[in-house]
Every structure is written in C-alpha cells, then in structure tokens.
Structure 1
Amino acid sequence: MDKQIQKDLPFSKVAETFDNMEKITSRIALTQLLVNLIKDTPPEVIGKVVYLIQGKLGPDWKDIPELGIGEKLIVQALSLAFGKTEQEINKLYNNIGDLGKLAENFSQGKQKKGSLMAFIGEEQNYLTVSRVFDTFLKIAYSQGEGSRDLKLRLIAGLLKDSQPIEARYIVRFLEGRLRLGVGDATILDALSISYGGSNSYREIVERAYNLRADLGEIATIIAKQGIESIKELKPEIGTPIRPMLAERLSDPEEILQKVNGKAFVEYKYDGERGQFHKDGDKIKIFSRRLEDITDMYPDVVEAIKKSIKANKAILEGEIVAYDPDTGELRTFQELMHRRRKYDIQKMVEEIPVKTFLFDALLKEDEDLTREVLPYRRKALESIVEENEKVNIAKYIDTNDSKTLWNFFLTAISEGAEGVMVKAIHNESIYRAGVRGWLWIKLKRDYKSEMTDTVDLVAVGGFYGRGRRGGKIGTLLFAAYDPDNDVFRTVCKVGSGYTDDDLNKMYDLFKPYIIDHKHPRVDSSIEPDLWFEPVKVAEIIGAELTLSPLHTCCYNKLKEGAGLSIRFPRFISWREDKGPEDATTEQELIEMYNRQLKKIEEKQAKEGIQES
C-alpha cells in the first residue's frame, strides 16, 4: 500500500461507521462503533475524522465559512457526476425525498457500468478522509466570482470517485444532515477508551477539551503524544476555554452551606458573558457559546487593550449595555441589538457598553485554572487598570446570610439581575465546562411561584387546532442528563408564544426535523414531529410536580414517576445557550426538594397535617 495512504484512512471506513450508527439507538453501541473507527485511524488524520463525526469542518469558534450548499447545486453536481438530467434527478428526488440516498443509488449504477473498466485495471480514484475533508474545506472557502462553478466541479469530482455508501454521506455532510445522534460526550468516551484502554481517562480527556475547545486538536495531541500528555495541558491564547457553569438556589443560608460557609458574592450582570484573550495588542473575544464575537465589539476591544496591563492574558467578564447619560445598566435584550454584522459603528454609538471582569484564567504563561478563586482574583486585580469602560465586578466576601441578602437587593437596585456566590475554599479551582456547587446563582426571578425559570431543549412538536390549525402549536421540552448525555422530557408547552412565534415555528425547526426519535432523546410521549435536540428556550411554570408521563428524573424521586412542570409557559429562545447548557435533571431535583420543603414548612406553621 502507498505510504501516503498508510497515513490516511479510506473514507469508506468512515461512511460504513456512519451507516451502522444510523441503525442503532444504544449509546453504548454508538460509543463502541466510534472506538473501532478511532483505533483504525492514523494519528495524521484523527482530527479530520473527529470533525467529520461532529458534522463540522472545525470547532465552532474558528472562522470557517459555512459550506452553503443548497439542493439545487447538489442536483447539478449529481447530474454532472452521473450523467443524469436535472429533470430526471428532481423527479426521483420528489419520490425518495433524500438526496443522499439518490446519490447512493446513482453510484451503484455507475459501479455496475464500470465493472469492465475495473476488470482491466482502470479503477476509480480512491477516496481518503484527507481528500474528502480537504475538498469540503475548499468548497467552504470558495468565495466570489466563479466560486459556484468551482464548488460544482469539486462536489462532482468526489461523487464520481465515490463508492455508493460514500456518496450518501458526502451529500448528507454537504446538506448538514448527518444526524448521527452523537454528542461531544460520546466522542470523549470513545477517545478515552481508544487511547487509554478504558473510561478511566474520561475526566482527564474532558478537562483537556474544556481548556481547549477543539475536539479535533485534543484527539490529535492524544494520538501523537499519548493520552498522558494531556494531563498538563494549559490554556492557549486564541483557543477558547469552555466556561465554568453555576448551580442555582434561592435561599441565602442554603447557598452559604453549599460553599462551606464563606464566599465571594459578586454582581450577576444582565449582559453577555465574554472571554477576553490578549496577546500584545491583539484582542479576541469569545461568547459563552465560544463564538468569536470580536468584530461585534470594536469598542470593547479598544477598552480591554488599554485596561489590561499584562502582555498575555485570558480573562472572563460580562459585557453590559448602559445609558451614558445616567450610568444605568440596560437589559440583555437591548444588548442583543449589538449582535449584527452590519452598521456596527452605528450600534456602538446607539448602545454603548461596559465590561465587568470577574475572573483570570491565564496571566502571562501562568495557568490560573488550577488556582483557587482568591488567588485568581488577586491576579485579576493586579493586571486590570479600571477605567470608564472596564471595571472589576463588584463583590464582597462574607459568611453571613443577611449580608448576602442585602448585597443581593443592592445589586438588583443597581440594575444587576442578581448575585453569583462563589466558593473560596481550598477546592475552588476553575472547573472549565463544569457545573457544580463552587458557583451558585441567586437571581431576582427566583421569587416566582416555581422559584426559577429553567432552560429546556425542544425535542418534538405537535400541530395545533383551531386558530393554530396547520401550525406547530405546542412543543415537547426536555432537561439534560449530563451523566448519560441524554435529554429527558419534562413538559409540553403550548402557551406564551406570540402570533409571530407561531407563524415562524415550522421554519425555525425545519432544519432539525427528523423522522424518528433522536438517539439522545428519552421520551415516552410521541409528538407529531421529532426534532434534533438543538434549540433551547427559557420556560417558567407554576410548580414542579411528579408525573408518570415524563422521563425526566424517572424513578429518582418516586417509583414509576418522573418530574414535570405544571402550567409551563414559554418566555424566550436562548440563542446564547447550546443544548448541553440546558437545565439538568439534578437541578430540577434540587428545585423540587426546595419546593417540597417550603410546602412542609407552611403546613407546619398553619398546623395542617397530611391525611
């Protein structure tokens, strides 16, 4: 075999794995298929294979253009590759409804016709992972005049040389329709088992990924340097760190107990969380979802450049809109008008912002993520020169619940949405990408009947009746179970939507509609339409209640019952959150237990005994 091919992988191996993954719904079986594929993959191309599994050309934060391939261009490529007329292809497509399957069928016909050529030694070219992946990149970066013809030729070239099963997945990747049912958590498991021999390395692999949010890069480092090499991996400027997450509680005393009695309590600003990377005069800003939002905030770039004294640093903070005339902070909704590609300078003038910094993750070459919060805070204060546009988040340190509550009320009166209570004990390191009891949110909307809003993932839809006839009028929502990387249903939501929401609902979910329950969804309810678990919404309700219909927390609180939300209502879409950022089962259990405790206390006060 050619030495170059030995450093590559036949694309057929990837396509066959994808085909097998489509046929199963067991996460254990999916993981094993990935393990087999990873073990077969040379280190030189493991990063590309991981990106293909993710259905991407690289991590989301990299500035890689969208493929931008529509049905019409694929039809033309099929015509060019297989000698069919576009009319013929469109007719068959209307019957089959799957361009990937159509490409597979055409490729099978091509193979039969080409059997004589194969017999005399004129085989089609061999598709490797590198050729396919690099061609996808060429397609993505092809811009401007003549780019359409180039894309057409590149796609047709791949299809001409493809085996039937390869043709199917080439087309599906181009369409953005892989739908393999695999999340990052499953890939992390597979990498741990493949290179470490068991899942015992899972935590180490995940920490490395959390510090450098590029799964392809992490896989390449492990494959080339060994799994032990990632233990000492440090943050790298220009590569975003997955943000540390917080739990939620509404009782100051309970919060202080969770953090061992003493904490930093800082304002929780109603803005956009930003991660600021400084390398000399170069500044990059990443959002909570690790998007590169640098171009949207040119004023913040200049302010950070002036304020941060270190040559190299990675800091975290909140970008907040404010009224320059009064100094009052404005809402997150107003800030979101800054999220645009055009008229940015106009928005800078209309919606000025301040940045409130609250953590330091890298100072020069020092990795601060392994240091406790008080050390990180001192490091932050040592390199930040506050000015009109950049401040350190207001905070106190306290072990008194009344002081915490008064600070919370002050924060609200000054335009914050609440406070963040942060542990300062010996275990208070920065746990990138992890939700735990080191950070706890106390927000004003926790005083609603259900104590708090929750962020849930839409996994299915139901058609409405009457005025909503023919439209998706109700959505099936699920909470996240991070231990099993599964979304479990918690409520059906049919209220809170505006007429505009309802009119746009089908188009909003059209790219995510699938013909079967997604492998990462656990539901005993059958909706009219199944969705990929992608869209996150903020939901409020009257109370949490036990339910035999929903799978969230099933059998965890009572045999034969899960948790559900009574009278749920839609508030808004959370475009700043990914599905894995959704409210977890454990958070809902905590909320339910607190609700139960309050009811019991009220009953005891009023002398009411349960019958």
Structure 2
Amino acid sequence: MLLSELAATSDLVGSTSSRTAKSAALAALLGRLEPAEIAPAVGYLVAAPRQGRVGVGWRGLTSLDVSHADNPTLTVADTDAFLDRLVAASGAGSAATRAELLRAFAGRATPGEWAFVSRVLLGELRTGALEGVLLDGIVTASQRPAASVRRAAMLSGDLGATAVIALTGTPEELDAVGLVVGRPVLPMLASTAATAGDAIAVTGPASVEYKLDGARIQVHRAGDDVRVFTRNLADITHRVPEIVEVVRALPADRLILDGETLSLDEDGGPRPFQDTMSRFGSETTRAIALQPWFFDVLHVDGRDLIDEPLSLRLDELERIAGAFRMPGIRTSDAAVAEQLSRDALAARHEGVVVKSLDSPYTAGRRGKSWIKVKPVHTYDLVVLAAEWGSGRRTGLLSNLHLGALDPVGEFGEPGGFVMVGKTFKGLTDQLLRWQTERFPQLETRHTSSTVYIEPLIVVEIAIDGVQRSTRYPGGIALRFARVKAYRDDKLPRDADTIQTLRAMLPG
C-alpha cells in the first residue's frame, strides 16, 4: 500500500467527529493492507511506530531544507524500512547518519506524506484514530467478535499484533491470546473527578490510594528473570536494577505487578517529577535511586487475577508485597476519602486514586472503576504564536505558544514574555475559528507552520503543574496544559509571571 493512502485515511478520520465514520474509514483501510503491512500501519495511525523512539526530535525534522516529490511513490514497507535504519544508526557519527536518512526520505515523500510521517515521529498525530476507534475498525474489518478483539488487544499489549491475528488468523488463534508472564499488557486507566467525595459517590466502597507524581511501571517475574516495563510497554529493565532487586526478593515465583516508581530526597519525600524521569530514562545514571510502590497484582504463581475483584487482588498484593504497597485505605465514607486526599497532598504527592473494590482489571480501558483526583491550577498567560492545524484542523490556527510575564527581565527584556509551553487542548471549534480570524491581524512574522503575533491576547490555562525544562528560556515547561477561556477582560500586564510559575517547582 502507498503511504499516501494511509495519510489520506488519517486526514479523513481526523476531519470527522463521527466515531462510526472514523471506524468505517479505518476498517476499509485495514482490509486493503497486505499482512506484512498491518502492524506498521496500525502503529502509524496511533503515532506509535513499532520501532518506538527513533532518535529524531522536533529540531531534526523542522530544520530540513529539501524539495519534496510531486507524486507519491513511497509504500508502507518503505517507511517501515526507513524507521528501521533510523533506529540502527548509533555510535559515533550517528547524528549525521540520521540527518542524511531524513533528508533522503523527505526528498522521496510528497509534502503531505512528509507532514504525516513527521507527526507520527513526534507523537502529534491528532486524527482521532485512537486505540478505541481503531479497535472498532479492526472488529469491522476482521468480522471477529468485538469482545475477542478487545481482550486480545489488552492482554497482548500490542494493537498491531492483535490486528494481524484478527485479520489473518483463525478465531481460535485470536481467543488463545492470554495473559503471559513476561509480555506486558496495556495498563488500566483512570477517569477524573474534582474531589475524592465525588469519586466515592461513583465507585461505592473503594480503595483510596495515593497518586504519586512518578512513572508508571509494570513488573513481570518468572523465577529470577524480572522485567520492568513503562506505561507504553517499553522494556527498561536494565535501567532500574533496584526495582529488579526488590521484586526478586518477594515471596512468589511468578508475578505481574502494576505500580509506580519515583525517587526520594534525603528526608524521604518525593523528588521533583523531572528528577525521577531523568533517572527513569537514563541508561547510566545510578546516583538517584528509584523505589517502587505497587497498587495491583495481575498474576501470582500460575493464577490470573485480572477478572477477580480488586478487593481480592489487594489481599494478594498485601501478602506478597506489603512493604512496597501504595499507601491507601478501604472506605465508603466520603469524609475519610477526603482526609486521605489532604494527607497525600501534604506529603507532596499529586492526589489520590479512588478504585471500586468490586472492579476487575480492565487493561487498556478508562472507565469509572478507577477515578483520579488531582488539584488543577489555572494561570493567565499570553499567546505568542499559533501553529496551523492538521487533520480536521487543517486550515485553522491551532497549537498555541504560551508566554508568562517577566516583569523584572530575569529571562529577557523587562516586561517581556517568556515561552513556557504549547497546547492545542481545550480549543472548541468556535475558538479555533475565532483565533484563525483574529491572530493574522496581530501577525509580526510567520513561517510555513506558525503565525507569530503581538503579545496582546490573554488566555486562561489549566495545568497540573510545571516541570524543569531546558527547552524554554525560563527553565520550566507546563504539564498537561489546556485552554479554559480567553480573557478579554485582562491586559497582557495582568498575566501571571514566570517567577510565579517557577515557584511551583518543588524545592
């Protein structure tokens, strides 16, 4: 299949809000793929190529100066081979090798194909072709029972592999996909609520547990063989020997555990998120130790527990890993849940997760059985620029560049603005149309992708916090930023300052 067909389907899916239409378009595409193309194509549609990270970032992609092809000739197989070569480039001279591979491939691609591949590599393919609607497409294209496809996807942890089995295998092969120690499964996800009391009202009797500002881990043990995976199912065992050591000492031979990890400071409190992630992603650093906290167990010594209620799984978890249990309580009392939430925040953690004691482990799904409660912060920032959208936002100014006021000139000119992040989240169709009309009237300069404007428009932004960052001159970046509203009642001088945002950094 030509890569242009995949890109066109991605644009089509992104241009409609109808889940049925998205699913139908994806099913039609899947039905035309050759068996060897299925897994790569599925990875591209959800911006998660099978090769994982290929060592190319935003600067590497946007700094290319090439002439693109006029007519599409690249195939899905060509793209897969190109990504294999990028991953293989390592050692001395690898940066130059990757740059040359990028230039060569970009020159063979049409502008539309290159835009699609760039968004895949940057994880910015906002087409609406998320796992859920793609699963619907796999069900339609394969004509297999939805329950069988969904269960195979969650237990294999691999949407591409599931698509291959569903589309090319037998019903028996699809149903045979099960929980395997050593093979990661998609993590169960949580919805959100404003308060712990609101969450308890939904779940009923619940386990109320600390929500750490750390990294999600899934740990598998088979004898002395211990493997540790990230929430995206990447194997990072070699980076976390301290976690491997903890799990090897637990009183069980075969295990699958779900939890979080973070690093602690000298006082036993959590280090900043950025410190944990720096240690978590390091291939060599061992100065900062990581400690695991487990909150669920999916398998113990030959017994699968995912279909058992949480209350039973917690009993098993206490027996096996009591010393490394996530702090929490079981309660149906909203006041008790609220108190634990306050305790978690006082201990410098993110908040709590409220989990129904009757719930099974529904891997890869976000329902009402798990509900996270975290405080949300709002700040008034200034729009510095906006990027042209893609997919259903093609022709509209979308991704906002956000700046905080620097009244004293600590990071630039006094009274200027320091960029602290970007966001496209929270923008309604009405806001997209408004800013597409309004921003060009304030343009100071532009590139092919971005319109830079005078810093006159104040926007209210909700964030979960800030983290240290070397990408922006203020040394911080916003975490999970989303638009709440434009503030016509405020002037740029009323915006929150970079110093206010930096004060949110722990320590």
Is TM > 0.5 for Structure 1 vs Structure 2?
yes
Residue of structure 1 equivalent to 2:42 = 50
Residue of structure 1 equivalent to 2:164 = 220
In 1, Cα distance between equivalents of 2:61 and 2:203? 57
Residue of structure 1 equivalent to 2:326 = 393
Aligned equivalent of 1:370, options 307, 317, 320: 307
Identity %: 22
Question: For residues 223 and 503 of structure 1, do their structure 2 counterparts lie closer, same or farther at Cα, with a shift above 3 Å needed?
Answer: same
Mapping for residues 192-271 of structure 1, pairs under 5 Å: 192-196=139-143, 201=146, 204-226=148-170, 229-231=173-175, 233-236=177-180, 237-250=182-195, 252=197, 254-260=198-204, 262-271=205-214
2:382–2:404 Cα contact (<8 Å) kept? no
Question: For residues 170 and 66 of structure 1, do their structure 2 counterparts lie closer, same or farther at Cα, with a shift above 3 Å needed?
Answer: farther
Structure 1 position 243, deviation (Å): 3.0
1:55–1:176 Cα contact (<8 Å) kept? yes
Residue of structure 1 equivalent to 2:298 = 361
Aligned partner letter, 1:397: R
SS of residue in 1 equivalent to 2:69: helix
Question: For residues 17 and 402 of structure 1, do their structure 2 counterparts lie closer, same or farther at Cα, with a shift above 3 Å needed?
Answer: closer
Aligned partner letter, 1:244: L
Residue of structure 2 equivalent to 1:134 = 81
Q: Does 1:430 align with 2:361?
A: yes
Which moved further from structure 2: 220-229 or 144-153?
144-153
SS of residue in 1 equivalent to 2:252: coil
Residue of structure 2 equivalent to 1:525 = 431
SS of residue in 2 equivalent to 1:345: coil
Mapping for residues 441-480 of structure 1, pairs under 5 Å: 441-443=372-374, 445=375, 452-453=376-377, 464=383, 471-472=384-385
Residue of structure 2 equivalent to 1:322 = 264
Aligned equivalent of 2:354, options 405, 410, 421: 421
In 1, Cα distance between equivalents of 2:279 and 2:466? 17
2:382–2:403 Cα contact (<8 Å) kept? no
Question: For residues 191 and 16 of structure 1, do their structure 2 counterparts lie closer, same or farther at Cα, with a shift above 3 Å needed?
Answer: same
In 1, Cα distance between equivalents of 2:460 and 2:103? 53
Aligned length: 431
Structure 1 position 360, deviation (Å): 0.5
In 2, Cα distance between equivalents of 1:334 and 1:147? 27
Question: For residues 336 and 151 of structure 1, do their structure 2 counterparts lie closer, same or farther at Cα, with a shift above 3 Å needed?
Answer: closer
More helix by share: 1
Q: Does 1:26 align with 2:16?
A: yes
Q: Could you list the per-position Cα deviations for residues 232-289 of structure 1 after superposition, in whole angstroms to 9, with x for gaps in the alignment? A: 632342434233214324253x5443223x2223333343332222233333333345
Residue of structure 2 equivalent to 1:41 = 33
In 2, Cα distance between equivalents of 1:313 and 1:194? 35
Aligned partner letter, 1:378: D
Aligned partner letter, 1:525: L
Mapping for residues 536-555 of structure 1, pairs under 5 Å: none
In 1, Cα distance between equivalents of 2:244 and 2:297? 17
Question: For residues 31 and 238 of structure 1, do their structure 2 counterparts lie closer, same or farther at Cα, with a shift above 3 Å needed?
Answer: same
SS of residue in 2 equivalent to 1:319: strand
Residue of structure 2 equivalent to 1:281 = 224
Question: For residues 496 and 286 of structure 1, do their structure 2 counterparts lie closer, same or farther at Cα, with a shift above 3 Å needed?
Answer: farther
In 2, Cα distance between equivalents of 1:367 and 1:41? 35
2:214–2:273 Cα contact (<8 Å) kept? yes
1:247–1:435 Cα contact (<8 Å) kept? no
Aligned equivalent of 2:138, options 191, 201, 209: 191
SS of residue in 1 equivalent to 2:210: strand
SS of residue in 2 equivalent to 1:524: helix
Structure 1 position 224, deviation (Å): 2.6
| RMSD (Å) for aligned C-alpha atoms | 5.0
Residue of structure 2 equivalent to 1:335 = 276
Which moved further from structure 2: 293-302 or 366-375?
293-302
Structure 1 position 372, deviation (Å): 0.7
In 2, Cα distance between equivalents of 1:233 and 1:242? 17
In 2, Cα distance between equivalents of 1:569 and 1:300? 34
Q: Could you list the per-position Cα deviations for residues 338-375 of structure 1 after superposition, in whole angstroms to 9, with x for gaps in the alignment? A: 345366123x2xxx443221100222443322111122
Residue of structure 2 equivalent to 1:15 = 4
Aligned equivalent of 1:65, options 48, 54, 69: 54
Residue of structure 2 equivalent to 1:591 = none
Which moved further from structure 2: 144-153 or 275-284?
144-153
Residue of structure 1 equivalent to 2:443 = none
Structure 1 position 46, deviation (Å): 1.7
Aligned equivalent of 1:311, options 243, 253, 258: 253
In 1, Cα distance between equivalents of 2:403 and 2:81? 47
2:253–2:301 Cα contact (<8 Å) kept? yes
In 2, Cα distance between equivalents of 1:441 and 1:139? 38
Higher relative contact order (CA 8 A, sep 6+): 2
TM-score by length of 1: 0.57
Question: For residues 259 and 26 of structure 1, do their structure 2 counterparts lie closer, same or farther at Cα, with a shift above 3 Å needed?
Answer: closer
Question: For residues 569 and 495 of structure 1, do their structure 2 counterparts lie closer, same or farther at Cα, with a shift above 3 Å needed?
Answer: farther
Q: Could you list the per-position Cα deviations for residues 111-153 of structure 1 after superposition, in whole angstroms to 9, with x for gaps in the alignment? A: xxxxxxxxxxxxxxx9764454234313431334676897799
Q: Does 1:380 align with 2:380?
A: no
2:262–2:292 Cα contact (<8 Å) kept? yes
Structure 1 position 74, deviation (Å): 11
SS of residue in 1 equivalent to 2:141: helix
Question: For residues 360 and 56 of structure 1, do their structure 2 counterparts lie closer, same or farther at Cα, with a shift above 3 Å needed?
Answer: closer
In 1, Cα distance between equivalents of 2:100 and 2:400? 47
Aligned equivalent of 2:215, options 261, 272, 278: 272
Structure 1 position 301, deviation (Å): 2.7
Q: Could you list the per-position Cα deviations for residues 294-338 of structure 1 after superposition, in whole angstroms to 9, with x for gaps in the alignment? A: 4543322322332x33333221122233345x4445554553453
Residue of structure 1 equivalent to 2:456 = none
Structure 1 position 393, deviation (Å): 2.1
SS of residue in 1 equivalent to 2:195: coil
Residue of structure 1 equivalent to 2:475 = none
In 2, Cα distance between equivalents of 1:569 and 1:282? 43
In 2, Cα distance between equivalents of 1:385 and 1:180? 41
Q: Does 1:104 align with 2:70?
A: yes
SS of residue in 2 equivalent to 1:103: coil
